[in-house]
Each structure stands twice: as structure tokens, then as C-alpha cells.
Amino acid sequence: MSRRILLIEDNEQNRYLLTFLLEQNGDCVRLAEDGLRGVEMARAETPDLILLDIQLPRMDGYAVAAALRQTEALRKVPIVAVTSYAMAGDREKALAAGCDGYIEKPINPDTFVAEIAQFTQPGRAIREMP
């Protein structure tokens, strides 16, 4: 069964690459080009996984993750930050905002699908947010 993945990413080249990799894996990918639209789509569709850039127009990824975690239906949906933010503390900031995982850009196309697969495995630990 294919996963329903919401990709919240403003860069067209990144959207193309990630969508290509995921669809080649059999996943169904929906796209949002800014943070506010991503929150709206997640609330309307309840995807199986959310891939989230941090540097976004209209609402940054930290605010998006926090807003999604405040929505009851989305509290158990895994959110993985896929971002070029790679300075000390950026990973911790993404996790504190509500992300379950963190992958630095540029991604490795050979391992990306396997990296995110761990977040949709049956029996994975559900992260509880305060």
C-alpha cells in the first residue's frame, strides 16, 4: 500500500527530486509550496507522513510543525524536517518544534526513501508532545 506523503517545500528543484524519488517508490505525494498552505492541506487530508522544509514563505517550518502538533488528528503523523539548516542546534530546534526526524540537504538520492521509511513503519514509537 502506498503512503500518502505531504511535501511542504518551496524550492521547485527540491520538490521535483523528492517527488520523483517518492513516486518511484510507489508513494502518493501532495505538494504545498508554503507553510500556511502546508498546514491547511495537512489538516484537510491527514497524510501518513509530512516532509517539511524549515525555510518557507508565509510560515516557517518550526511554526508549521508546532501548528500541526496542536491539531489532534495530526499528533501521531510523523513529521520529518528536510532542510539545509545544518548549524549547531538546528536539529534540536526542529525536534523541539514537533518534528520526529531531521534530514539535512542536500539529500542522498540513494538512501532518502530508506531514511524516511523508518518513520512510517508499523509499531514505531509515537512521539508524545506536551
Query: Is 56:38 a contact under the CB 8 Å cutoff?
Result: yes
Q: What is the pLDDT along the chain (130 residues), one digit of tens a residue?
A: 689 999 999 999 999 999 999 999 999 999 999 999 999 999 999 999 999 999 999 999 999 999 999 999 999 999 999 999 777 889 999 999 999 999 999 999 999 999 999 999 876 665 555 5
Residue 70: the pLDDT is 96
Architecture label for domain 4-118: 3-Layer(aba) Sandwich (3.40)
Residue 121: the pLDDT is 84
Which cell numbers hold the place of 117?
521509511
Residue 86: the pLDDT is 74
Residue 128: the pLDDT is 55
Residue 87: the pLDDT is 79
Cα 83 → chain centroid: 10
Residue 37: the pLDDT is 98
Transcribe 29-89 into DSSP letters: EEEESSHHHHHHHHHHH--SEEEE-SS-SSS-HHHHHHHHHTSGGGTTS-EEEEES--STT
Which pTM does this prediction carry? Answer: 0.93
